[in-house]
Structure 1
């Protein structure tokens, strides 16, 4: 039979060896889950990029529509100015004709 200290040393060695084995297994399993976490982060990052791109495209479309509206309003303003110039010219011409008629009537 073995002596008591030898049995204790033997048990201690077995305990150390088994604990090392379990520790290595835990590390391997953690390393295995690491890529999975990294892949999830990459997928999340890709989704965020896609959402950002969609937001940017939406904003660009809105800006384009606003630019078209501004252009339409400018054209309408030009038409109004043209109409006002025509009306003002007609009024001025009418006033000049009336003044000439008055002047002609006064000369008679």
Structure 2
């Protein structure tokens, strides 16, 4: 009987010590978790800040492109109005030039 009692006692000691080791590992992991989560939170905050800066930069670029587009549209309208003005007065001149060229060809 002493042999089975000794085995049972050793088994109990083994179980108790292994539980202490497991608890110690769990405590270490739990202690490490907040620092890891704090680091992840800090990294996440930095990523968000970078994303916000990128978005602001893109918004500035979009605004600048819209301004350029507006300027180009205004220039196009000015060119069209100038072209219409020139074409309105230039048509008779073009006809005169064409007639003059025909006369020179006929003379040659």
- Select the structure of larger CA radius of gyration: 1
Q: Same fold (TM over 0.5)?
A: yes
The structure 1 segments of at least 4 consecutive aligned residues displaced by more than 6 Å after TM superposition are: none
Pairwise CA RMSD: 2.4
User: How many residues align structurally?
Assistant: 93
Give, in whole Å, the separation in 2 of the partners of 1:42 and 1:51. Answer: 14
Q: Calculate the TM-score normalised by the size of structure 2.
A: 0.67
Give, in whole Å, the separation in 2 of the partners of 1:16 and 1:53. Answer: 54
Q: Calculate the TM-score normalised by the size of structure 1.
A: 0.67
Give, in whole Å, the separation in 2 of the partners of 1:84 and 1:13. Answer: 102
Following superposition, the deviation at residue 66 of structure 1 comes to 0.8
Unaligned runs of 5+ in 2: 97-108
Aligned counterpart, 1:86: 85
